[in-house]
Structure 1
């Protein structure tokens, strides 16, 4: 089999763009008027695109389930290095693992799970940091015919209990003894986990101990279990992170995963390739990281895992990835850190000029304009001073960075493109099995999250909500009562607002539930204003408020690291951090600094969308009650915690 070639049958992509009818969405999202002018000879204005589809590139019906991805890859490239496994200590060398070695480990653990009593359809919970053993456990559970239930390693016992009550796992796999304790307590409270909890770390009840029972199960029995599930069998129950409400258990099938893995790999052959490699440091409990891992495994892209993000710079320099998946905040932090370092060396002015140059270069590349001699000269200068050093910090070989999980500011995307590390922004949800849309190499448009990926359709509803249909869209929630509001006309209601631009690229515009109606009846979508404020390195999260109020206000949640650096530089003594909850931070210099940020954001929106007052707050951004594992704020939880702070804004 040729490199990057799957056994599925490829088809040529066909893009289907359909115009819709004018409605309230244009008013809500700022679309131009689309109603034709009546009268003889009147020329109708161009209507906004309302739906776009992309045909699948790969037929998947010949696949039995997700495990076929590994079986076929091992048959095609048994000796290819699939993983680099970190040692227990930072100074230990990485251990290469071939595809066949990985398959043997998966089969051995699957037999151990079966010998211990895991039956077809049983739920197996995995609670661990991002590490190689997560991948082994995930595939082993599928080989044993089980359904995988990922649990974020930061989850509290109460959160584990809630998941266990709904999913009823029979067995748990934990990363460490601390994770095992959380699983055990949650299982006990929920009356689940009859087969106990086993750890990835060595010990009496470790995965090694489970593997010792592999001899009790023969290969024929294992193969029968591996092939028990078909494409429409549930593969996993994934619990949403709950930014706007209580988590829900989404049922993702083997068809969802196989369809996404093969079609996305086909669409991104330039990125996902056998001679490439990546470092995964997003939580594997998140469907984006898990989907990425399967795509790389099926396509031969070498994978290294990293749980300790404090080591990320050293690991990137060592592993030298060709491709990375990050959340937008990571890119914003890199930009802020570069600026702070330049400022410390009294090169702040030069760095700001370098930023402007990179953005101009990125915009020229995007629009196909040939840069003039002055821009070329400036970029060459700043490449020597800044850009190549930043690329070196990321390993020096990055061809692309994929950003997902939240909206990335267009200026940041252009900046990294201009510095030689183009960002491919995509969009998806747990319920769409990760990416639903994505920019493609050669067609990257900053400020958009791309076109529907192969096998997917995006439709914009009359109220501006993004609707989705396709191979990745889930089978429904564990609680069927949640399904009634989740679907309309065969489309999944994402809960996000957006529009399709003139090129058919999706532009996000916020959450449906975040729309604010003031006491004066003005309807405001806060996304644009919040994103503008969050582009400042000091601001981790901006939350506009004003529902039923006479004017708009905001809470600005500061990022602890840039805040500490700013305080040191300006001789400001910060109050001690308080664990949990939020608190107002009152400092006149800081207030003036952020007032300028707010004023600039106000200039980017209409008068009705401008914020009149704001309060600076500090919060424990490690508190899972307030922040999701992918660094998104839980708006309702924050507002509930900050009742007193909010009240001050309207006194």
Structure 2
């Protein structure tokens, strides 16, 4: 097994003049060849050597995702140093904490983070700092080490060497630096290759932060298997750029698909009767075919396949065009996606494959894939990974993808037992080996009656109501569950207008008794889908959108529940008076 660096070098030799990256500059897509990418890596490698960076040193990067980020990462690894990626969405205190803890000898930054050097971080010791340079210029304008010298450096790097120190999101405390080896990276990309098989000739579209483990592993996959990668110029123009690039695959977090799904459903509501009939027909036929495929029926109804192609084309042609028109699949992770949305995208000819992994596992441990999918699950283990459940249901992981421990002074082997890593997630395994994530062990609600309940499971059921945008379930140490409810104001406003409810501003609806009764009836209906002890007895409607306010989300878009509980402590207590 080779390191990602040697794989990159092999691709440079195979595809020298082929496109490695696409990046948008001045409104136009520019191509960077594998040969040009190699020149850039060698140039940054020389820069690092001249700065005195050597094997085992830590080097930080804080910048938006781009080819420059990806190639700077490879250059850091080329000299044997350890990359420390920092989320651009982190608050100043988190950025400074990571810089203090990792003590990088050098920091690469984009211009908006120049404040790190202006004296604000007085107790942060940086050996040097460098603004990330543009890779889209022919010739690149920098001196490079020779190909032979670069190869000598890279051949001295072993699979057991640490490649990167990735800091966890810190949902329950200070971030911890997970030490990831070259073996972890190569094992992970090989597992994904076996699952999906994309390579040279396939085009990917990347917009996730490269400081996020999901974005990072796709970068390493790209370097290892020679596909072409286009980087988003801004998160605000993702769908616009996908129509231009027409990618074969992309990796997303659920929020992207939720927005597309919600927008599509709204368009259907105002479409003509024939369009609605075609879409309903396509969904029925598609669901029937999916069920046949799921149960391995070898001889489907003779009309199902042609009927599915026809109705899917007519019903979902425009939806597929939103993603460029030739998308083979979408990988989704980071948080659960509602089962009905996964099913919908499959029916529409846009297969979504959910997976499960952590920073400590260098991305996916399990993943759904073509030919092996179970809606509502996060798939089966990828090649080389093993999973088992502890007595309390906690998911435990073993395999070459696993990190080797945390950067001191954190406890190096925290969470590791005889080669198994305790993930902190509660799971269930189906008879056919698919993993379902129930919730976080630390977030389990233990009622005063001794029941252990996953709030995530109940929240997902509540969010399936068209009038509920989000829900936070509470009840730890209490006799029953309650919930804080955030309304879907667009649909609630439509309901109010149709039912003659007068209001001057949308906030008036939050306090309207008829809206309260609407939500109560919705919750009562959803309670039928959970066990009796999981039913939500009482609730309060709130007007704070946690997904838009600072402090409530980690850099990887996970909710800090303790922050919500702290903010609404009085309101929560009133639900039990």
- TM normalised by structure 1 equals 0.80
Q: Per-residue deviation at 1:218? A: 5.4
**Structure 1 Cα separation of the partners of residues 521 and 119 of structure 2:** 47
Please tell me whether residue 393 in structure 1 is matched to residue 331 in structure 2.
no
The answer as to whether partners of 1:282 and 1:630 remain within 8 angstroms in 2 is no
Match of 2:209 among 283, 293, 312: 283
User: Is 2:128 the partner of 1:198?
Assistant: no
The answer as to whether partners of 2:404 and 2:413 remain within 8 angstroms in 1 is no
CA distance in 2, matches of 1:258, 1:393: 33
The alignment status of 1:416 with 2:350, answered yes or no, reads no
Q: Which residue of 1 aligns with 2:537?
A: 612
Please name the residue that 1:179 is paired with. Answer: 113
Cα deviation, residue 497, structure 1: 0.9
Answer with 192-201 or 562-571: which moved more.
Answer: 562-571
2:264 & 2:516 partners in 1: Cα distance? 24
The correspondence for 2:54, drawn from 96, 119, 142, is 119
Residue 36 of structure 2 is aligned to residue 83 of structure 1 = no
Among 152, 158, 161, the residue aligned to 1:230: 158
Contact 2:176 2:410 in 1 (8 A): no
| Superposed displacement of residue 423, structure 1 | 1.6
**Aligned partners of 1:137 and 1:243: how far apart in 2?**
29
Q: Secondary structure at the residue paired with 2:25?
A: coil
TM-score (norm 2): 0.90
What is the SS of the residue equivalent to 2:422?
Answer: strand
| Aligned equivalent of 2:479, options 534, 537, 550 | 550
Distance in 2 separating the partners of 1:197 and 1:232: 28
Q: Which residue of 2 aligns with 1:603?
A: 528
> How much has 1:490 moved relative to structure 2?
2.0
User: Judging changes above 3 Å, is the alpha-carbon distance between structure 1 residues 537 and 124 closer, same or farther for their aligned structure 2 residues?
Assistant: farther
Greater relative contact order (Cα 8 A, min sep 6): structure 1 or 2? 1
2:43 is matched with: 108
> Residue 532 of structure 1 aligns with which residue?
461
Q: Is residue 433 from structure 1 mapped to residue 362 from structure 2 by the alignment?
A: yes
Q: Is the 8 A contact 1:173 1:200 kept in 2?
A: no
Q: What does 1:156-555 correspond to in 2, within 5 Å?
A: 156-175=91-110, 177-181=111-115, 183-184=116-117, 188-200=121-133, 214=143, 221-269=149-197, 272-345=198-271, 350=277, 355=283, 358-369=286-297, 372=301, 379=308, 382-479=311-408, 481-483=410-412, 485-536=414-465, 539-555=468-484
| Change in CA separation of 1:229 and 1:386 when aligned onto 2, cut-off 3 Å | same
The runs of 5 or more residues in structure 1 that have no matched partner are: 1-59, 577-583
Is the Cα–Cα contact under 8 Å of residues 164 and 187 in structure 1 kept in the other structure?
no
Q: 2: CA distance between counterparts of 1:254 and 1:346?
A: 55
The SS at the match of 2:200 is: coil
**Matches of 2:375 and 2:60 in 1, distance apart?**
38
Secondary structure of the residue aligned to 2:128 is: coil
For residues 516 and 308 of structure 2, the distance between their equivalents in structure 1, rounded to whole angstroms, comes to: 35
Contact 2:405 2:413 (8 Å CA) reproduced: no
Mapped contact 2:355–2:366 kept (Cα < 8 A): yes
In the alignment, structure 1 residue 637 sits paired with structure 2 residue 571 = no
Equivalence for 1:68: 6
Question: How far did residue 538 of structure 1 move?
Answer: 5.7
**Counterparts of 1:454 and 1:362 in 2: how far apart (Å)?**
25
- Which consecutive residues of structure 2, in runs of 5 or more, have no partner in the other structure? 498-502
**Cα distance between partner residues in 2 of 1:165 and 1:537:** 46
CA distance in 1, matches of 2:371, 2:504: 49
Structure 2 CA distance, aligned partners of 1:225 and 1:590?
A: 66
Q: Label 1:119 to 1:355 Cα distance change in 2 as closer, same or farther (>3 A).
A: same
Count of matched residue pairs: 566
Q: What residue number does 2:500 align with?
A: none
Displacement of 1:301 in angstroms is: 1.4
CA contact (8 A) 1:162 1:190 kept: no
Deviations 1:447-484 (Å, cap 9, x if unpaired)?
Answer: 11111111111011111000000011101111364455
